[in-house]
Amino acid sequence: MRYIHLILRSLFRSRRRTILTVLFLAVSVFLVATLQSILLTLDAFANNPNSSNRIAVRHKVSLTNLLPLRYADWIRQQPEVEEVMALQWFGGIYQDPRNFFPNFAAEPEPIVRIFKEEIVEYSETQWRDFLRDRNGCIVGEALAKKYGWKVGDVIPMQGTIFPINPRLNLRLIYRSRRLTDEQAMYFHFKLVEEGVPFMQGRVGNLWVRAKHPDEVPRLIERIDRHFADAVEPTLSETENAFQLEFLKMMGNLATIIHAITGAVLVAILIVTANTMAMAIRERTTEVAVFRAMGFTGSRMLGILMAEGILLAIMGGMAGLGLAWLAAGGIRAALGSVIPWLTDFTIPVDTLLFCLHASMGLGILSTFIPAYRVVRRPIVEGLRAL
């Protein structure tokens, strides 16, 4: 701390260069923190701890292939099974294609038993109304607030995958522990089965709830073995594995985000190294004078290193502060496009990673030019006058 004044004076000797470098670092760290937080949020969605005893049964060939509904009868007879439900991704549009949210056609009675960890609070009266109404639907509270829906409203949906446009009566609004789980809509599977000829007796997925998580691997193996020789063989997997497969349809986001993060970190290293190399090269004579006055090489190296680290920390802290302040706006913007990002936040671990990365890059970018200048003979440094 004895030399903090000297470090600050040296750092802001060229204010324009320092400010521009800090701004570049801030934008870069903001980008890294945001991208890594998006990846962690999607990873949390695909690794839901509440789904450990749920299994998704689909066609072995593809997610788009259909299974016979009669498969559910055999699965329901297995001793490990608590509940089975037919579930079909509907993919409908509400008013505008940009109004995207998950909407499913499902067998109504098992919904709250299959998803008991997600649908945690609802009105029993509204639930009975939903079961009685063939055109009824249920939605999460966050989704209802987003579009201003109330119980009793009519929600017109436009089919994209299926050639039907159901007008759904909102009968129930449920609450969940996570905002992500309040982004879905469920309506009666019969509307799709009876309205689309090729869907009669067929469904995209069967969701199975096992009585205990330890029974899931054994049940998965038995289901797939039983239907292995059928015309429509099955592929059973845990809900987390199924969700991960579904997210992969959007592209290999993890690889893309890691590639962008790596490129940004390399850019930070190059810019910071260039800035510090210029700053130190301009002060070759000054360093020689300090050493002639009695400053040791290690002390001068420490002062120069502190300057580079401080520059990196300033940029890193500015970027993290920007990411923290913008988290709410990012959550609103991304959540409207990708509902699984409704729970987007900047985790503390990500903030620490970015801060440590900034410090590490500051050390790497400063050490070589600083070491070279302090190893230079004093006489040669003074001759630069």
Structure tokens, 379: 């006489």
pLDDT at 208: 94
pLDDT at 178: 83
Structure tokens, 20: 């521009």
pLDDT at 384: 57
Per domain, the residue ranges of the chain are 4-45+251-383, 66-231
| Separation of alpha carbons 129 and 107, rounded Å | 15
Q: How far is CA 266 from the centre of its chain?
A: 23
How many helices (H) and strands (E) the chain has is answered by 14, 11
DSSP assignment letter at 189: H
Question: pLDDT means per 10 residues in the chain (385 residues)?
Answer: 69 78 86 82 63 85 90 93 94 87 93 90 94 95 93 93 94 90 92 92 93 89 93 88 66 72 81 77 73 76 81 86 82 64 77 85 81 75 60
pLDDT at 248: 62
pLDDT at 131: 95
Structure tokens, 135: 């055109």
| Separation of alpha carbons 107 and 316, rounded Å | 51
